[in-house]
Amino acid sequence: MTTMADGIDYLHVAADILCDFLEVAVHMIVYRHDVYPSAIFESRRKYGVPTKMSVHPELNSYLQSCLCDTRTLLLARDLDRIVVAILDTSGAPITKYTFEVWLPAEPSAGGDEYLVQVEQAFREFLLKVGACDTDMEALGNCSFALQLHSTAAGLLALKNGALPWVTCETAQRLIQGDARIVPLKSYYCELFKMQLYVEKR
C-alpha cells in the first residue's frame, strides 16, 4: 500500500506532517476557546504564523497520546475525521472543529517535495481557525474532547494504542439544536486531502 518511491515512504510522511499540523491546530483551537487559562499557552511560530501552544505537560501528553493514535489510524488508512469538540459544562458539544482527512492510495510528494505548498495550506488552516468567529457564550466555561471517526477495524487497530478509546455517544457527537456547517478550508495534494469545517449553532 505504501509508496516507496525514492526510498521515502510517503504514507508515513503524510501521517507525520498531518499529525504535526493537527497538534498545532488543536492547541490553537483549545486556546481560542479559552478551555484552559491562557497562561499555559505560549506564543510560537509554526508554519510561518504565530500560534499558541500549551506548555502544560499533562495537556501536552494527552494531546500527544491522542495524536499518536491518530497517526496509527492514518497509517492504517482508517481515519475519516478528527474532531475537536468544544463541550459545554454538560459535556454536550457546542462547536465542533472537524478535520476531514483522506489519504490517496499512493501518496507522493508530487511536485512539492519541499512541502512548500503544504506549509502554505497549513498556514491558511491555522489562520482560518484563528479568525473563525466563535460562540463567545461558552468562553472560559467549557472543556474539549478529541473524537476520531474511524471504522471498527480502526478501533481494533487502536487496541494497543496510547489511550483507551471509547465509542462516542450520540449526545457527545451531535450538536443540539439547529447547527450549521461553516467550511473553513479545503486542501488537497498528492500526499493527502484535508478539509476543515466548523459545526456550530
Partner 1 sequence: MAGRRPRKREDKSGWDGHGGYMNAKKQKLNEQFESKECAIAAVKEGNASEIFSGITIYVNGYTEPSSDELRRLMQLHGGRFQYYYSVAQVTHTIASNLADSKIRQVGNKKIVRPQWILDSIEAGRLLSCTPYQLYAAPSGSQGTLGFQQMISTGGETKEKCIAEKLSRETGDDEKGSDSKPAKVQDCTEPATSNDGQVHDAVDSEESYDISPSPNSKEDDHADWGGERSSEEEPNVIAVKRRTIEVQNPDSPKKKPTAKAGDANFVSEYYTHSRLHHISTWGTEFRRYVTELRSAGRGEFRGAKKLQELKLCGRLASHDDPGKVIMHIDMDCFFVSVGLLDRPELVGQPVAVTHSKGHPAPSRCETGANPDYERKYWEQKCTGQQYGSRERAAENACTSSSVAAGEQDFYSRAEIASCSYEARKLGVRNGMFMGEARRLCPNLQTIPYNFERYSMVSKSLYNIVASFTHDIEAMSCDELFVDLSKLSKDVGISPLDIAQVMRDEIAEQTGCRASAGLGPSILIARLATRLAKPNGQHWVKPDEVPAFIHGQALKDLPGVGWKLGCRLKALGAETCGELQQLSLGMLQKECGPKSGRNLYQFCRGEDSREIRTDKDRKSVSAEINYGMRFTAQEEVDKFLAELAVEVCKRLKEVQSKGKSITLKLKGRKADAPVVSAKFMGHGVCDNFAKSVTLPVATDSIDIIRKESLNLLKTMKVVPSDVRGMGIQVHRLEPSTKAACPANSILNFMKKAIASTSAQVPETSSSVSMQPTSSERNCSTTLPAYQMLSVSQVDSSVLAELPAEIREEVEKEMQQAQRRKDLQEIESSELLQKVPSAGISVHAETHAKCDQKPTTRTEVTTELPNLSQIDQSFMDALPEDLRKEVMAACTEKVVHSSAKNETSKVTRRPVQGKKSSPRKTKSGASPKKHKMQKGQLTLSAMINTIQQPAQAVKSEEKHPEASVGIPSSNNNERGRVEEKNSALLPIPSLCGATGREEVRSLIKEWTDSTAEPVNEDIEMFITYLEELVGHMNLEMADKMLKYFYRLVKVQQADAWRLALHQTVESVQQTVLARYGYRLKLDFP
Crossing angle of helices 57-75 and 10-32, rounded to 10°: 140
- 110 scored as a contact of partner 1 (CB under 8 A): yes
- 180 scored as a contact of partner 1 (CB under 8 A): yes
Which residues lie below 8 Å from residue 27, measured CB to CB, with a gap of 6+? 41, 51, 52, 53, 54, 63
Provide the minimum distance between the beta carbon of 200 and partner 1 in the complex, in angstroms, as a whole number. Answer: 8
Q: Cα 112 to chain center, whole Å?
A: 22
Binding test (CB under 8 A) with partner 1, winner from 94, 126, 157, 189: 189
Provide the minimum distance between the beta carbon of 120 and partner 1 in the complex, in angstroms, as a whole number. Answer: 10
At 185 the three-state DSSP class reads strand
Provide the minimum distance between the beta carbon of 39 and partner 1 in the complex, in angstroms, as a whole number. Answer: 33
The CA distance from 40 to 9, in Å, is 36
Binding test (CB under 8 A) with partner 1, winner from 5, 55, 131, 171: 5
- 109 scored as a contact of partner 1 (CB under 8 A): yes
CA-CA distances (angstroms) from residue 115 to 1, 164, 189? 22, 33, 10
Provide the minimum distance between the beta carbon of 78 and partner 1 in the complex, in angstroms, as a whole number. Answer: 17
Residues 111-150 close enough to bind partner 1 by CB under 8 A: 111-113, 117
Is residue 14 within 8 A of residue 191, CB to CB? The reply is yes
Nearer to partner 1, 40 or 145 (CB): 145
**Interface contacts to partner 1, rule CB under 8 A:** 5-6, 98, 100, 102, 104-106, 108-113, 117, 174-175, 179-186, 188-190, 193-195, 197, 199
